[in-house]
Chain A
Amino acid sequence: DAGVIQSPRHEVTEMGQEVTLRCKPISGHNSLFWYRQTMMRGLELLIYFNNNVPIDDSGMPEDRFSAKMPNASFSTLKIQPSEPRDSAVYFCASSLGQAINSPLHFGNGTRLTVT
């Protein structure tokens, strides 16, 4: 089992540029979550999908953020245009179903720096 795979591991970009973060969940998992981690706010849930359908995007900070899950094995989180305050570590996680006792499996994250 390769685990949740995120790319890139590090991204440095200039303010105003478009950023796309990618995630491949664990095969067979049908729930996918995007989190953001910062020193100030800790871990924040941005959006989660079940069976490729967005269920709750109330954590997406603003319209500059968008997420898609075109199929069961791939998801993207896009920021356009990026701003310095978007600098954070972005994690993707997947779980088996929405069963309340299913633990999340996290990727190693993408560290985004916007200058």
Chain B
Amino acid sequence: AQSVAQPEDQVNVAEGNPLTVKCTYSVSGNPYLFWYVQYPNRGLQFLLKYITGDNLVKGSYGFEAEFNKSQTSFHLKKPSALVSDSALYFCAVRDKAGTASKLTFGTGTRLQVTL
């Protein structure tokens, strides 16, 4: 069974500093990895995905994520955080293609960026 873990419930960072939100995964086959962001009273929004190719994936709003197969990790990063980045971030993994394809979400990490 596929699973994803986000070890930190909350990450605090000062505006302008780099941020990292951690994610590790477990799948039986090749991982297909995603990051989503949720703002208050809104649905989740897609940020970026890793399917294959370069281990560093760039996404929306200046975010990027690094796929590390040996560590089974897919950490979300941003070089310079903004207060407006404060939100709930979800890592997700998809395993099999076809009719059994499902997306498994982590428990979420709340990012708080302060001035």
Contact = CB atoms under 8 A, between A and B. Distances in A.
A106 B49 contact: no
Nearest first, the 4 closest Cβ-Cβ pairs linking A and B are: A106-B43, A103-B46, A100-B97, A43-B105
Nearest to B41: A108
Contacts of B103: 33, 45, 104
- Interface of chain A, main secondary structure: strand
Interface of B: 32, 34, 36, 41-46, 49, 51, 90, 94, 96-103, 105-108
A101 interface: yes
A89 to B, nearest CB: 9
Contacts of B101: 98, 100
A67 to B, nearest CB: 15
Interface of A: 4, 33, 42-43, 45, 48, 50, 55-56, 91, 93, 98-101, 103-109
Contacts of A105: 46
28 contacts: A42-B105, A42-B107, A42-B108, A43-B108, A45-B102, A48-B102, A56-B102, A91-B43, A93-B43, A93-B44, A98-B97, A98-B98, A98-B99, A100-B32, A100-B51, A100-B97, A101-B51, A103-B46, A103-B49, A104-B44, A104-B46, A106-B44, A106-B45, A108-B41, A108-B42, A109-B41, A109-B42, A109-B43
